[in-house]
Amino acid sequence: MVVGSIEIPFSIGCLADIPKVSSIELLQIPLPSSPRFFLSTTPKTLFSSSLHVPIRSLFTNVVEDIDDISPPRLVVDLNLETMILLVDLDGRGARYWWIHHVRRLSAAKVSADALERGQSRVIDASLTLIRERAKLKAELLRALGGVKASACLLGVPLGHNSSFLQGPAFAPPRIREAIWCGSTNSSTEEGKELNDPRVLTDVGDVPIQEIRDCGVEDDRLMNVVSESVKTVMEEDPLRPLVLGGDHSISYPVVRAVSEKLGGPVDILHLDAHPDIYDAFEGNIYSHASSFARIMEGGYARRLLQVGIRSITKEGREQGKRFGVEQYEMRTFSKDREKLESLKLGEGVKGVYISVDVDCLDPAFAPGVSHIEPGGLSFRDVLNILHNLQGDVVAGDVVEFNPQRDTVDGMTAMVAAKLVRELTAKISK
C-alpha cells in the first residue's frame, strides 16, 4: 500500500564491495518504539544523488504483524538486489546499515586488521586533501603579507548525532552558496571584504559520510574532525571557522583548538538549548551533550550560554556543576547591557564562538531542526558579536537545516551572514 513519497538526498558507498553470496540469513534490526513506515529501493537507484521513492507501509518479506512484536523489530530477508532503508515521520532521514551487515556476514573472511587498514587509508586521504589545501592557501597569504589571522572555512557535514532531524548534515554547501550568491555585496558590516583572501579562505569539507560509509564509529570520527581542525591551525595565519553540521561537532573542534593552542579558551555559546546533558538518549556524542564533553575535558575556562529558552532540570544542574554562565531569554532585557559589552579571553588562549542558528527566534531563522519561539533577534546577535572584546581564535555555525528552510533560502542567508560577521571578528 503506497501512502506517499519522499525525496531523500544522500551519498552512499559502492555496493560492489558487498560479498557475492547466494543467500543471507535473516537480520533483526531494532526499530523505534513506534515504527511508522518503511521503504525500499534498488542499488541502481542508490547511485543517484537524490532518491524519489515510494513510501510503503509493508513490502515483501516484512513481518506484517509488527505491532505484535515486543520490542518492535523489522525482520528482513536482505538480498543483494534490495537495500532496505528506514525512515520515520519526524524526518530523521535515511539510515542505512549495509556496512554493519557486511562486517557481520564477512567476519570469517575479513580480519579486523584489514578493515582497520582500509579505514585508515580513507581517513589519511581525507586529511591529506585538507592539509594540502590549507598549506596552499596559507602559502598564498604569507606571500601576500599584511595578515595576522585569516578565517578559514572548514565544513563538517555531520548530522547523525541529532536527536531529532538530521538535515544539518546538508548545510555546509548551502551556506557557501548563500555567501557567494550575489544577492548582497561581499563586505561585512565592519567593512571587511570577503573576496580578499586575507580575510576569508576555504579548505572544503571533512568527508564525514564517506568515512562513515567505511564503518568508522564515532570515537574515531570525532578524532578525525579534531585532526582536520588541527591541520588547518598548523598553517599560519589560518584560523578555523567551522560550518556544521549538528552541534555535536563543537566538542571535537573546541578540543582541537584547545590542544593546539596549549590551554583552555573562553566560549561564547549562542543557542536556544544548553547542550550540556551528560549523555542525551545514551549518546555521549549527542548534539545535546557537546558542552558537557567540552567542560569535562577542561577545554574551556568560561562558558557563557546566551539565548537559552529550552532548558531542563538536568540542564540547570549540569550548568551549576561546570560553573556555566547561563543567560536565559526570560531575563534577556535585564542582561542585555552586560551581554552587549562582553570582554573575554584574558588569561587564556583566546575566545571561541559557537552559534547555533536556533538561538534566533524562528521568525528570523525558520530553517532549523528545533523551532523554539521567543529567541534573539538577528540584531541582538550582531550587537553581542560586534561589541565583544577578545581575540577570537576559532568558531562554528551549526544546526542550520536546509530541509526546513523556506523556498527562497531565508535561513541559508541568515547562516551566511553569521559566517560573514564571524569572519570579521576572526580576521586581522
Q: With cut-offs at 50, 70 and 90, classify the pLDDT of residue 215.
A: confident
Q: With cut-offs at 50, 70 and 90, classify the pLDDT of residue 164.
A: very high
55 and 158 housed in the same domain? no
d(CA 301, CA 261): 14
Rounded to a whole number of angstroms, the CA Rg of the chain reads 22
Beta bridge partners of 343: 389
Domain boundary among 105, 136, 169: 105
238 and 95 housed in the same domain? no
pLDDT at 242: 98
Burial 163-172 (b: 16+ CB within 10 A, else e): bebbbbbbbb
pLDDT at 380: 98
Lowest mean per-residue pLDDT among 85-89, 325-329, 397-401:
85-89
350 and 201 housed in the same domain? yes
Instruction: Give the pLDDT mean for 270-290.
Output: 97
d(CA 95, CA 165): 12
pLDDT at 46: 31
Instruction: Give the pLDDT mean for 12-35.
Output: 33
285 and 216 housed in the same domain? yes
Return the residue matching grid coordinates 578540543: 255
Any domain includes 158 = yes
CATH code (residue 261): 3.40.800.10
CA dihedral 118, 119, 125, 130 (to 10 degrees): 180
| Model pLDDT for residues 310-330, shown as the tens digit of each residue | 999 999 999 999 999 999 999
Instruction: Give the pLDDT mean for 377-382.
Output: 98
| Model pLDDT for residues 319-377, shown as the tens digit of each residue | 999 999 999 999 999 999 999 999 999 999 999 999 999 999 999 999 999 999 999 99
Residue 343's SS3 state is: strand
pLDDT at 103: 54
Return the residue matching grid coordinates 552558496: 177
26 and 140 housed in the same domain? no
Q: Are 392 and 360 in contact (CB under 8 A)?
A: no
Any domain includes 384 = yes
Domain hosting residue 11, numbered range? 2-105
d(CA 400, CA 243): 9
Any domain includes 110 = no
What amino acid is encoded at 166 in this protein?
Q
186 and 292 housed in the same domain? yes
Domain boundary among 52, 84, 105: 105
Q: Are 406 and 171 in contact (CB under 8 A)?
A: no
pLDDT at 228: 98
Tell me the three cell numbers of residue 103. Answer: 562486517
User: From the centroid of its chain, how far is CA 318?
Assistant: 23
pLDDT at 115: 84
DSSP-derived secondary structure letter, 228? H
Count of domains observed in the chain: 2
The answer to whether the pTM exceeds 0.85 is no
d(CA 292, CA 318): 8
Q: With cut-offs at 50, 70 and 90, classify the pLDDT of residue 76.
A: very low
| Model pLDDT for residues 259-271, shown as the tens digit of each residue | 999 999 999 999 9
Whether pLDDT at 392 is above 80: yes
Whether pLDDT at 67 is above 50: no
- Tell me which H or E stretch contains 153: strand 150-156
84 and 150 housed in the same domain? no
Instruction: Give the pLDDT mean for 154-166.
Output: 96
pLDDT at 88: 34
78 and 202 housed in the same domain? no
d(CA 316, CA 119): 40
Domain boundary among 105, 126, 160: 105
pLDDT at 112: 79
pLDDT at 108: 54
- Pairing type for strands 27-30 and 73-76 reads antiparallel
34 and 55 housed in the same domain? yes
pLDDT at 105: 52
Tell me the three cell numbers of residue 379. Answer: 540584531
273 and 367 housed in the same domain? yes
